[in-house]
Amino acid sequence: MLSDADREKAAGLLLTAEKERKPVVQLSKTWPDITIEDAYAIQQIVTDTKVAAGAKVRGHKVGLTSKAMQLSSQIDEPDYGHLLDNMFYDDGVKLPHDSFCVPRVEMELGFVLGQPLKGPGVGLLDVMRATEWVVPSIEVIDARVQNPRKIFDTVSDNGAAAAVVLGGRPVRPTDVDLRWVPGLMYRNEAIEESGVSAAVLGHPALGIAWLANKVGAFGTVLEPGHFTLSGSFIRPVWANKGDTLRADFGPLGSVAVQFT
């Protein structure tokens, strides 16, 4: 367990890394005794610092919910991070590549809540009942910590959350079978990754249930109007300067982002 001073120092390193676009040495190397509790506390300090500077929490992301993502990260459990209002963009946005350290993209279904969710005990049907809209999304992830990372590094780094691009055809949660939403991720004209939404814990709504139960232990409620990413059902795709990344969700349409 780290001291409060070390937690503050770790948060400061992450904030500097994000500002300077240069990943720092893994926190798990600098502080070998770091725990998962420390990691979430560091994440909260970073989030609180940004909120104090004017940002607003708009929701959460759930990460590492599919085997593909766990294998790519060598981490075997989900995690979560905070989504701030300045992370959100619309379909077709052009993002400066040098605004990130090492950007990659994932395709996910985002859930907009119409009712609150408070764990423990939240299940799939609770999430379906509480959800107002499901939205096709691209998440831009960006590691502010060097590889290889452990779960402590990823959690401290806010689950690598960097940006969210929304588009496609938003649907009500019962309009489609959310287990069988297809996914093709194009980089320019080539398909780089493919998958299906059931790869997220068997049903993407279970990613939201996991989050509600996880944060419920700390007294946190998932609020109406908040937006939550349920987790990627493909492996992350590298985004190079000049690339256009397009996520095709089949009948739910597509979402694109260009890195300039």
Kindly state the DSSP code that residue 227 receives in the 8-state scheme: E
Kindly state the DSSP code that residue 240 receives in the 8-state scheme: -
Cβ contacts of 128 within 8 Å, gap of 6 or more: 173, 174, 205
Report the distance separating Cα 255 and Cα 210, nearest Å: 26
- What is residue 189's predicted lDDT score, i.e. its pLDDT? 94
Can you point out the beta strands (E) in 153-214? 161-166, 182-187, 190-196
- What is residue 238's predicted lDDT score, i.e. its pLDDT? 97
Q: What are phi and psi of 64, to 5 degrees?
A: 60, 45
44, 79 in Cβ contact below 8 A? Answer: no
Task: Output the CATH code of domain 57-259.
Answer: 3.90.850.10
**Tokens (6 digits) for 171:** 């649907």
pLDDT profile of the chain (260 residues), mean per 10: 97 98 97 95 98 97 70 67 97 98 97 96 98 98 94 94 98 97 97 96 95 88 95 94 98 98
111, 132 in Cβ contact below 8 A? Answer: no
Residue where the block lists tokens 């096709």 = 136
Residue where the block lists tokens 């560091």 = 42
**188-212 pLDDT tens trace:** 999 999 999 999 999 999 999 999 9
| Residue 76: CA count within 13 A, CB half-sphere | 0
Helix pair angle (4-20, 36-52), 10° resolution: 60
Say whether 13 sits in a helix, a strand or coil.
helix
**51-86 pLDDT tens trace:** 999 999 999 999 876 665 556 555 666 789 999 999
